[in-house]
Amino acid sequence: MDFLKINGAFGEGGGQIIRSALTISCITKQPVHIENIRKNRKIQGLKPQHLTAIKILKKISDSIVIGDKIGSTELKFIPGDIKSSKIFEDVGTAGSIPLILQVLIPIVAISQKKLEINIRGGTDVLWSPTMNFTQHILKEVYSRMGINFSLEIKKRGYYPKGGGEINLVVNPSKIKSIFLTKRNTNQANITCTFSNISHEKIENEINKIKEKLIENNFVVKSKIQEQESRDSGASILVSSIDENSIIGIDGLFNKNTQKFDLDLEEFLENQFSVDKNLADMIIVPASLAKGKTRFQVKKITKHLETNLFVTSKISGCKYGVGKVLDGFEIIIEGISYASIK
């Protein structure tokens, strides 16, 4: 078996390499051997959400996996043919559902198959996009790239109890490149969901954020929704979307400080086309699309650097990074993968 070796310690050295490598491997049918998994983390090796993603891939593709156990720092993945499926999966912890979806959605959609899945686990947890980011920001950019999915959040799941539940439907899709330039809207949307916390407390914090946005000449709309959950928690998304940009910044409610951990300045200062987190999520589908995808970012993060490295190594796509005023332009020339019908 001819495996392509991937050094899991490259760049951000975390779970991003695993997610990207498995996604590209499944679509291109290139077996991969990932070493040094999460070597740059305090607790090394595979975590429950990684294993859940792998478990689902085995179910929907009959892939062969060696090393799929908690704490494993080495993984061999031999992809099988993706098939349309209807399944249920439980992470068993507050492990991130949004990170699992980053693997599943592109694989199934680009492989021209359909997936209906119910997943239980963490919907809004640390070191992961919130479910609102997935539903509003990732869905927006994927839709523009031709990737079609629908998402229903049935129950929120916060750390440490988890227990969140979502329904996901991914449809066969034809992937295409996109071109995004700079933000040209002053409309900002606040989306907040909370569970088992005082409505008054949440509303007061939202009003402070709203005031700051208005001070910076944004027209603000807000939506606050209480939802069922096993544990107390709250998440917030501040977003702006127009024809040339898709920008979102999210955060969780900190029970110690009684405030949202949200870098609002990052949102206020971003005049480019995507936020730093969305930037690395675009790379995988862009590498497989026909034509050139272009977008601008304020800075090159380790996650973005990692995804450019992994996707180009496995898919063979070409990319370039150019300097623009106060930021960077990313260009990815997709391979328009021939075996995808």
Quick one: residue 68, left, alpha or beta (phi over 0 = left, psi -120 to 50 = alpha)?
Answer: beta
Active-site choice (33, 50, 136, 303): 303
**Around 127, how many Cα atoms within 13 Å sit in the side-chain half-sphere?**
11
Cβ count within 10 A of residue 69: 11
Q: Is 300 helix (H, G, I), strand (E, B) or coil?
A: coil
Helix (H) or strand (E) holding 167: strand 164-171
The single residue listed with the structure tokens 């509303």 is: 203
Integer Cα distance of 104 and 121 in angstroms: 15
Q: Would you say 141 and 178 are in contact if contact means Cβ atoms under 8 Å apart?
A: yes
Give strand pairing partners of 116. 86, 169
Nearest alpha-carbon partner for 112 in 54, 51, 65, 173: 173
Catalytic residue flag (residue 303): yes
How does DSSP classify residue 216?
T
Query: Which three-class secondary structure state does DSSP give residue 201?
Result: helix
Phi first, then psi: what are they for 92, rounded to 5°?
85, -10
The answer to whether 118 and 88 have CB atoms below 8 angstroms apart is: yes
Residue 67's identity, in one-letter code, is G
Q: Which residues are catalytic?
A: 303
